């Protein structure tokens, strides 16, 4: 199957006619091709987007909202097709794509269809100065949205929906590793009545298509989610052009478990926060710290629950709708972890496990590849728990971004806080305790953009989302992202009495 670029409402081959292979992580086999677009494709897309901008930015909020709702409905009505495409492209369990990724993609459009109708700018009555100020919030023009492979349609739409709701035209690039659902979104947008040129989807490598988006002088802002190294490169490239930047980068998130927590709830949630999506979520709690009095029982229970997790082909008997059943598929009852996204990523994660001793840890369980019958070339890895004795080791300082967590005891709240804050990252933190005072103290002092207490990945789309330190710059979500995708212009009117 050949994926195409979506430019000005048309599906097109890349101008260079250069193509990349698209791999199925569950089998390790090539199952399609995607355009390796370059600066010429980005140039064409940007010209159409720029031409459409005056019209789209003057389209009423009601009409924009109506189109966004149509897109949300279009996604929902194709739930099975999109979920199967996502699972096949990424390797994640189909059940996860069906219950999390695709529903959230629809929610992103529905949420911003409502939010744009409520978004308002400020006015300031300048008492005593005989002046009144009001602020206009103007869309920026053409903006770039670059998204990663871990939550493909979920994160792609998390950027695109607010950008177009705010009146911008968009050049969007999904990850070259997982392009399929972004491709399918093009048709949905056309059917929903989105005018040609408002959303342009250009596929290809970061170093060619992505770089061309960063460098294009007409692209006024970049919203990016991905690795911290890439974020640094984006910041360096865009700073001299004074582009607005929103960077959602990596995490090495602490999961602080105190002895007074609701143990059963904590244990079940910690399994999820460690291994959901094969641990490939920037919010996963990859560093688990446990109060010493609870440590031995936690270690025993956690490791035994991890050993029960099932690694297997992302499709199961329960989730497969029947349309795309692979020929050699042997039916499983349940799967907790599917395949990692790519061979190179599997090898990167394995390096941390194979060198665990040298990197400061002892493997307690997992760590080996899993061979799935009929899919021996797939990128399957056991969920892995590593015990560490210090937070300063490589295993606790570098983002692994796979099904690997470390565990370590702490003696008191002060030490827990020091450990939690002791990395260059600052995306999210989870705290398990029933003590309200402790909750308030830690919420105040944790260096993180998001603190979850007695929960994890509990998302209200109105809330600010993003990180501090090497986890990024700026906030997505709610009105924060609508502010990002608009420029404030203050108007001061003097009057006589």
Ligand X SMILES: O=C(O)/C=C/C=C(\O)C(=O)O
User: What residues are labeled active site?
Assistant: 248
Window 342-361: residues binding ligand NAI (CB under 6 A) = 345, 348
256 binds ligand X (CB under 6 A): no
Minimum CB–partner distance for residue 426 and ligand X (Å): 14
475 binds ligand NAI (CB under 6 A): no
Window 283-342: residues binding ligand X (CB under 6 A) = 283
Window 139-168: residues binding ligand X (CB under 6 A) = 148, 150-151, 155, 158
Query: For ligand NAI, which residue of 126, 207, 293, 389 counts as binding (CB under 6 A)?
Result: 207
* Cβ nearer to ligand NAI, comparing 214 with 372: 214
Q: Are 365 and 326 in contact (CB under 8 A)?
A: no
DSSP 194: P
Count of residues touching ligand NAI (by CB under 6 A):
26
The first and second tokens of residue 29, run together, are 């086999």
Q: Are 256 and 298 in contact (CB under 8 A)?
A: no
459 binds ligand X (CB under 6 A): yes
Minimum CB–partner distance for residue 114 and ligand X (Å): 17
279 binds ligand NAI (CB under 6 A): no
Contact string (CB under 6 A) for ligand X, positions 213-242, x = contact: ------------x-----------------
Minimum CB–partner distance for residue 463 and ligand X (Å): 10
Contact string (CB under 6 A) for ligand X, positions 406-445, x = contact: ----------------------------------------
Taking the C-alpha atoms of residue 425 and residue 419, their distance in angstroms, rounded to an integer, is 12
252 binds ligand NAI (CB under 6 A): no
Instruction: Say which entry of ligand NAI, ligand X, none residue 465 contacts (CB below 5 to 8 A, set by partner kind).
Output: ligand X
Taking the C-alpha atoms of residue 272 and residue 181, their distance in angstroms, rounded to an integer, is 24
35 binds ligand NAI (CB under 6 A): no
Minimum CB–partner distance for residue 204 and ligand NAI (Å): 8
Minimum CB–partner distance for residue 386 and ligand NAI (Å): 17
Q: Are 221 and 484 in contact (CB under 8 A)?
A: yes
What residues does 388 pair with on adjacent strands?
361
Taking the C-alpha atoms of residue 168 and residue 50, their distance in angstroms, rounded to an integer, is 9
Taking the C-alpha atoms of residue 248 and residue 263, their distance in angstroms, rounded to an integer, is 32
What residues does 431 pair with on adjacent strands?
256, 453
Can you give the three-state secondary structure of 281-321, one letter per residue? CCCCCCEEEEEHHHHHHHHHHHHHHHHHCCECCCCCCCCCC
User: How large is the angle between the packed helices 180-192 and 152-165, nearest 10 degrees?
Assistant: 40
Instruction: Say which entry of ligand NAI, ligand X, none residue 283 contacts (CB below 5 to 8 A, set by partner kind).
Output: ligand X
- Kindly state the greatest CA–CA separation across the chain: 84
The first and second tokens of residue 144, run together, are 């770039």
* Cβ nearer to ligand NAI, comparing 350 with 399: 399
| Four-residue CA torsion sign, 271, 275, 276, 282 | positive
Contact string (CB under 6 A) for ligand X, positions 39-78, x = contact: ----------------------------------------
Taking the C-alpha atoms of residue 446 and residue 187, their distance in angstroms, rounded to an integer, is 43
Question: Element (H or E) spanning 488, and its range?
Answer: strand 486-494
Quick one: which segment of 4-12, 20-28, 219-227, 406-414 binds ligand NAI (CB under 6 A)? 219-227
Question: Element (H or E) spanning 51, and its range?
Answer: helix 39-57
Query: For ligand NAI, which residue of 22, 27, 90, 150 counts as binding (CB under 6 A)?
Result: 150
Query: For ligand X, which residue of 149, 315, 465, 484 counts as binding (CB under 6 A)?
Result: 465
* Cβ nearer to ligand NAI, comparing 101 with 291: 101
For the chain, the residue count is 497
Window 281-300: residues binding ligand NAI (CB under 6 A) = 282
Taking the C-alpha atoms of residue 226 and residue 467, their distance in angstroms, rounded to an integer, is 12
167 binds ligand NAI (CB under 6 A): no
42 binds ligand NAI (CB under 6 A): no
Question: Element (H or E) spanning 440, and its range?
Answer: helix 436-445
Secondary structure tally for the chain: helices H, strands E: 16, 22
Nearest Cα to 244, choosing from 375, 140, 155?
A: 140
- Chain residues in the site for ligand X (CB under 6 A): 148, 150-151, 155, 158, 225, 248, 281-283, 459, 465
Residues near ligand NAI, by CB under 6 A: 146-150, 173, 175-176, 205-207, 210-211, 214, 225-227, 230, 233, 249-250, 282, 345, 348, 399, 401
């Amino acid at each position: 199957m050949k994926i195409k670029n979506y430019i000005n409402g048309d599906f097109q081959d890349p101008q260079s006619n250069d193509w990349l292979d698209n791999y199925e992580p569950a089998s390790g086999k090539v199952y399609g091709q995607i355009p390796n677009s370059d600066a010429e494709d980005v140039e064409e897309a940007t010209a159409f987007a720029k031409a459409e901008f005056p019209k789209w930015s003057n389209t009423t909020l009601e009409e924009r909202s109506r189109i966004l709702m149509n897109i949300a409905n279009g996604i929902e009505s194709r739930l099975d097709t999109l979920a199967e495409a996502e699972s096949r492209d990424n390797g994640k369990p189909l059940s996860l794509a069906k219950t999390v990724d695709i529903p959230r993609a629809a929610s992103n459009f529905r949420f911003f269809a409502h939010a744009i109708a409520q978004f308002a700018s400020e006015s300031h009555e300048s008492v005593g100065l005989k002046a009144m100020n009001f602020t206009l919030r103007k869309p920026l023009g053409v903006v770039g949205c670059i998204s990663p492979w871990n939550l493909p349609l979920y994160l792609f739409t998390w950027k695109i929906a607010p950008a177009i709701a705010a009146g911008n035209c968009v050049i969007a690039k999904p990850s070259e590793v997982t392009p399929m659902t972004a491709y399918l979104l093009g048709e949905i947008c056309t059917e929903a009545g989105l005018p040609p040129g408002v959303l342009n989807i250009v596929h290809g490598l970061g170093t060619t298509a992505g770089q061309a988006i960063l460098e294009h002088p007409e692209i006024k802002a970049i919203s990016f989610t991905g690795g911290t190294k890439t974020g640094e490169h984006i910041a360096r490239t865009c700073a001299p052009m004074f582009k607005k930047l929103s960077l959602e980068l990596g995490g090495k998130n602490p999961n602080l478990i105190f002895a007074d927590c609701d143990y059963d709830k904590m244990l079940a949630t910690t399994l999820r926060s460690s291994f959901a999506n094969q641990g490939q979520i920037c919010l996963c709690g990859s560093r688990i710290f446990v109060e010493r009095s609870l440590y031995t029982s936690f270690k025993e229970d956690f490791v035994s629950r991890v050993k029960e997790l099932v690694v297997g082909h992302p499709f199961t008997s329960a989730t497969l709708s029947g349309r795309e059943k692979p020929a050699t598929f042997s039916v499983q009852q349940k799967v907790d972890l599917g395949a990692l996204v790519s061979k190179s990523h599997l090898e990167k994660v394995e390096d941390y496990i194979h060198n665990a001793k040298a990197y400061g840890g002892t493997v307690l369980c997992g760590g080996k590849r899993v061979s799935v019958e009929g899919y021996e070339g797939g990128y399957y890895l056991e969920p892995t728990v590593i015990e560490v004795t210090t937070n300063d080791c490589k295993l606790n300082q570098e983002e692994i971004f796979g099904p690997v967590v470390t565990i370590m005891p702490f003696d008191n709240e002060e030490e827990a806080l020091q450990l939690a804050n002791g990395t260059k990252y600052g995306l999210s933190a989870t705290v398990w305790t029933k003590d309200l005072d402790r909750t308030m103290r830690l919420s105040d002092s944790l260096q993180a953009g998001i603190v979850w207490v007695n929960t994890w990945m509990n998302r209200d789309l109105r809330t600010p989302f993003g990180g501090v330190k090497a986890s990024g710059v700026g906030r997505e979500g709610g009105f924060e992202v609508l502010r990002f995708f608009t420029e404030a212009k203050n108007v001061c009117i003097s009057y006589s009495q």
